[in-house]
Amino acid sequence: MAIHKIKIFAGRATRPLAEKIAASFGTHLGDSEILNFSDGEFQPTYNESLRGCTVFVIQSTFPPTDNLMELLMMVDAAKRASAYQVVAVMPYFGWARQDRKDRPRVPIGAKLVANMLTAAGADRIMTMDLHADQIQGFFDIPVDALYASGIFVPYVRSLEIENLSIAAPDMGGAKRANTYAKLLGTPIIISHKERAKANVVGKMTAIGEVEGRNILIVDDMIDTAGTICMAADMLMARGAKSVRAAITHPVLSGPAYERINESALEEVIVTDTIPLNPEKDLHKFTVLSVADLFADVIERVHNYKEISSIFFK
């Protein structure tokens, strides 16, 4: 079976992570640049031949929407440059929370993004910890869904925390929390929240034994941090010894950093799928890189090897 030459490129939003992925893979990023026009438009350009190559384009699609548009245009440019195959590597799949019509007359943003990536010419998608696993079904092309548990679980084990319990910040995260609880052999706690409106939590309660436990809250993303900070404070008020969080995607919008630093959270463990703001107080944050995991999966995909055995599920 012929193996086509591999080339890895990065969008601007995720370049530091992409450099680490390329280095872990044993290569360097391909030569590309973005031409900016005075009206705000931009044009990605590849400065080397892609003909017959398998091209991996790495870009997380967190706000602003230019990050998504840049990825789409890079995929389109690679396809038009006669690349053999184009793989869109999205460590963070933005718009994933819009995976259904939760009220009348709203879009299904995740499906729209899937359609746009396919229309741009992506032959395959690679991403991590989708907000909802069923988003894979929005694509008619292969999707490699990676799991951050393979990074978080070894780190948590290394802490050797006694009386550890895993907590879900809401009912929707119960499945993920249950997976971590099984891997770590711990009890599980479910937080139940009632939202007053979007991004605003009304009240919260906990289901499970809290008193005297060291608790790790797990979730796929942290946005305004309202839910997770309320959960941490509530758990401490109910007698928890400590509360940490392991969150894959640190979106961290609005007052998120300040809320975390003022909350009862002892440590917030995140990945580098989205870069943290270096101008903020980051003393509570621990960043674990996903670079080696993505490099491993890229190698396996490129060489037609199975990948399921490397995932914690």
Residue 213 CA, distance from chain mean position: 28
- For the chain, how many helices (H) and strands (E)? 8, 14
| Residue 193 annotated among the catalytic residues of the structure | yes
Four-residue CA torsion sign, 215, 278, 254, 99: negative
User: What letter represents residue 36's amino acid?
Assistant: N
What gap in Å lies between CA 276 and CA 179, rounded to an integer? 26
245 near 269, Cβ under 8 Å?
yes
The radius of gyration of the chain's CA atoms, rounded to the nearest angstrom, is 20
**Active-site pick, 7, 175, 182, 193:** 193
Contact 214, 163 (CB under 8 A): yes
* Residue 18 contacts residue 292 (beta carbons within 8 Å): no
DSSP state for residue 258 in the 8-state scheme:
H
| Residues noted as catalytic | 193
